[in-house]
Amino acid sequence: MRRDVFQAIADPTRRAIIGLIALQAMTPNAIAEHFDTSRQAVSKHLQILVECQLVKQEQQGREIYYLLEVAKMKEIDKWLEQFRKIWEDRFNELDTVLSNLKTDKP
Amino acid sequence: MRRDVFQAIADPTRRAIIGLIALQAMTPNAIAEHFDTSRQAVSKHLQILVECQLVKQEQQGREIYYLLEVAKMKEIDKWLEQFRKIWEDRFNELDTVLSNLKTDKP
DNA sequence: TATATGAGCAATTAATCGGTTGCGCAAATT
DNA sequence: AATTTGCGCAACCGATTAATTGCTCATATA
């Protein structure tokens, strides 16, 4: 199953999970308590997140803590980069228009 | 159909379409030429992108130009914001560790 | 040692997705 | 006026998805 980061964050529950464990590592049961889904459902989401390396596991006795792989989040940021350039340019254009309006006024 | 921006960019073809029309507005046929999918398939993707306001239409005769709504792209950026703070903090921690190593050396 | 608990694995199901095909309509082109 | 072209709409189909249920295994706890 070719899963990428973008598909992983498409699901709102998954985004919520990411938001949760970003603050501190948690076990599947602990995460599930924050939603009204079953533990298994959460586990599946976690599996997907692990698969595309947005999240990693850390076994501790019989409990498994899930924690955010911050580095992987940057992949999304990297994709946005190209558009950031564009939207900054558009703002610059707007600035130009505005300053032209000013200089034309008097 | 409750569609959000994240679901919209989950599809690789859709991301490619966004990348294309970011540079210049295009018609469905023109876009379809860049992929090996049918015009209708592209049209469906465009419909989804319009639905969640990542893209808007501009009729020109019988042709419809699709162009990027740059502002909406920022919504993704906004979501990343909270994690950006975290990953910067982690790097700062790393910096601290590194500088401690340095000062401990001599 | 017996029992309770945390968690992964597998099978099933309903819903959704991405794509194709066929249609009709309006604007260009001849 | 007749034809071509651009495009949205609707129906359909196979693949994928998210969630449920039932199972087993290993680690705690009594």
What residues of A are in contact with residue B70 (Cβ under 8 Å)? Answer: 83, 86-87, 90
Identify the three-state secondary structure at position A20: helix
Numbered residues of chain A with Cβ closer than 8 Å to any chain B Cβ: 4, 6-7, 9-10, 12, 15, 18-19, 22, 68, 70-71, 73-74, 76-77, 79-80, 82-84, 86-87, 90
pLDDT in tens, chain A (106 residues): 568 999 999 999 999 999 999 999 999 999 999 999 999 999 999 999 999 999 999 999 999 999 999 989 999 999 999 999 887 776 666 666 655 555 544 3
Q: For position A93, what pLDDT does the model report?
A: 65
Q: For position A81, what pLDDT does the model report?
A: 92
CB A17 within 8 A of CB A56: no
B23-74: per-residue pLDDT in tens?
Answer: 999 999 999 999 999 999 999 999 999 999 999 999 999 999 999 999 999 9
For residue B11, what are the contacts with CB-CB under 8 A and spacing of at least 6? Answer: B45
What residues of B are in contact with residue A79 (Cβ under 8 Å)? Answer: 15
List of long-range contacts for B32-40, beta carbons under 8 Å, 24+ apart: B37/B13
Q: Torsions phi, psi of A100, nearest 5?
A: -65, -40
Q: Do the bridges between strand B55-60 and strand B63-68 make them parallel or antiparallel, or are there none, so unpaired?
A: antiparallel
Q: Identify the H or E element spanning B59.
A: strand B55-60
> Encoding tokens for residue A59?
């076994």
Beta strands in chain A (DSSP E): 55-60, 63-68
Crossing angle of helices A12-23/B70-104, nearest 10°? 20
Identify the three-state secondary structure at position A17: helix
Q: For position A106, what pLDDT does the model report?
A: 39
Looking at residue B54, the DSSP 8-state letter turns out to be S
Low-confidence winner among B9-13, B66-70, B88-92 (lowest mean pLDDT)? B88-92
Provide the CB-side half-sphere exposure for B61 (13 A, CA): 2
Residue A18's alpha-carbon distances to A37, A94, B49, in angstroms, are 16, 36, 25
Of chain B, the percentage scoring pLDDT greater than 90 comes to 75
How far apart, in whole angstroms, are the C-alpha atoms of residue A74 and residue A65? 22
Looking at residue A57, the DSSP 8-state letter turns out to be E
pLDDT surpassing 70 at residue B87: yes
Strand D within 7 A of A10 CB: yes
| Amino acid at position A14, single letter | R
Q: For position A87, what pLDDT does the model report?
A: 76
**Helix and strand totals (H; E) in chain A:** 5, 2
- The mean per-residue pLDDT over the stretch B93-103 comes to 59
